[in-house]
Chains A and B, each alone.
Chain A
Amino acid sequence: GQQLNQSPQSMFIQEGEDVSMNCTSSSIFNTWLWYKQDPGEGPVLLIALYKAGELTSNGRLTAQFGITRKDSFLNISASIPSDVGIYFCAGQLTGSGTYKYIFGTGTRLKVLA
């Protein structure tokens, strides 16, 4: 099945560092969503993006809808231990009238205190 290419797969960082991750595809998307999933929980929506070039922040999180509409980026500034988890991107294909989303395989983030 079709999936987004999400990178990196995992990362270990020191508390206080900034984090960057991205999702890319050969397909064009008209919506990008970013989720965080804690162990044993369902994904929680962090940021939603609807326009190419859009830059949206949610606290220390900033996400961008790529200008080509084929990619998206998520940045976390000044990481803290509770940022630990798996981050997923999800994209909605253009022309997908039923509004199905395709998910990336996730970036597993570990923060070292």
Chain B
Amino acid sequence: NAGVTQTPKFQVLKTGQSMTLQCAQDMNHNSMYWYRQDPGMGLRLIYYSASEGTTDKGEVPNGYNVSRLNKREFSLRLESAAPSQTSVYFCASKAGGPYEQYFGPGTRLTVT
């Protein structure tokens, strides 16, 4: 099993450009999450999907949109990138219930 995979691993964007970060999990998990990690800070939740067909805002959703394409895939879209969105983005998944989250390797995004 690959676990949680993310693409791309690195990306550089110019201000105003758009892009989609892809995430897939092969653990048959119900819930999927998108976090951002900035220096000196913990992981902050952007959006999550408790189950296929549902999405909800997290702590820092502004400037982002998500799509739960199917049970395996959860994408994060930046419609008009801003320098404040320079960060490392992590996708995570979890089985139903109060269980552990498993993380992908991250996407390092720089917006100039």
Contacts and interface: CB of A to CB of B under 8 A. Distances in A.
A1 B90 contact: no
B68 interface: no
Contact of A42 (B33, B90, B97): B90
B interface, how many residues as a size bin? 20 to 34
Contacts of A7: none
A79 B75 CA distance: 38
Interface residues of A, number: 29
Contacts of A21: none
B26 interface: no
Interface stretch (B12-20, B55-63, B78-86): B55-63
Nearest to A42: B103
B3 to A, nearest CB: 9
B53 interface: no
Contacts of A1: 44, 59-60
A41 B50 contact: no
Contacts of A100: 33, 45, 48, 58
B4 to A, nearest CB: 8
Interface string A55-95: 00000000000000000000000000000000010101000
B106 A105 contact: no
B60 A48 contact: no
A49 to B, nearest CB: 10
B64 interface: no
Given A30-B98, A105-B40, A41 B31 contact: no
22 contacts: A4-B42, A6-B42, A30-B98, A31-B99, A33-B100, A41-B106, A43-B43, A45-B101, A48-B100, A50-B98, A88-B43, A98-B48, A98-B50, A99-B94, A99-B99, A100-B48, A101-B45, A101-B101, A102-B42, A103-B44, A105-B42, A106-B42
Those 3 A-B pairs whose CB atoms lie nearest each other, nearest first: A103-B42, A42-B103, A1-B59
Given A88-B43, A90-B101, 8 more contacts: A1-B60, A4-B42, A42-B104, A42-B105, A45-B101, A98-B48, A99-B97, A102-B42
